[in-house]
Amino acid sequence: MIDVDADDPVLTIAVAAELAGMHPQTLRQYDRLGLVVPRRTAGKSRRYSLREVAQLREVQRLSGEGVSLEGIRRILELENEAAALRTRVRELESALTTELLNRPGSRVFASTANGDVLPLRQGVRAQRRTEVVVWRPTRVD
């Protein structure tokens, strides 16, 4: 049995269209609009992944519910961004776990006021900022 990842671009446009219940021309149109953009082979043929077929089905469902194509594009964009962020969080959690196992009891990182992460060597303290910021609201008459 062949092990295929959901993100592997292995499906031709005809197969992807069949799995999504759409006409291949619809998939070409969605590609042009940036809704579901497959990867390309060296010869410029479209290749779809199982995840992209699932997105095509979602486009069809949302379209049937009356959502505009621009609305669908934005929804898919946000879903893809959320998935990428979840993946990044898992990567960071894994890296943190590895650091904690390799250096028990030591500080691994510090965070700046704007959320940036600063890696620290064992025994090094983060510098604290001590500036005072004064803010007075302007009076609007």
> What are the tens digits of pLDDT across the range 105-139?
665 677 777 777 777 766 666 666 666 656 666 76
For the segment 17-51, what is each residue's pLDDT rounded down to a tens digit? 999 999 999 999 999 999 999 999 999 999 999 99
Q: 106 versus 52: which is more confidently predicted?
A: 52
**Fold classified for 13-119:** Multidrug-efflux Transporter Regulator; Chain: A; Domain 2 (1.10.1660)
How far is Cα 100 from Cα 96, in angstroms, rounded to an integer?
6
Residue 106: name the closest of 93, 116, 119 by CA: 119
Residues 6+ apart with CB under 8 A from 96: 108
Question: In the chain, which ranges are E strands?
Answer: 39-40, 46-47, 109-111, 117-119
- Domain layout of the chain by residue ranges: 13-119
pTM of the model: 0.63
How far is Cα 15 from Cα 59, in angstroms, rounded to an integer?
17
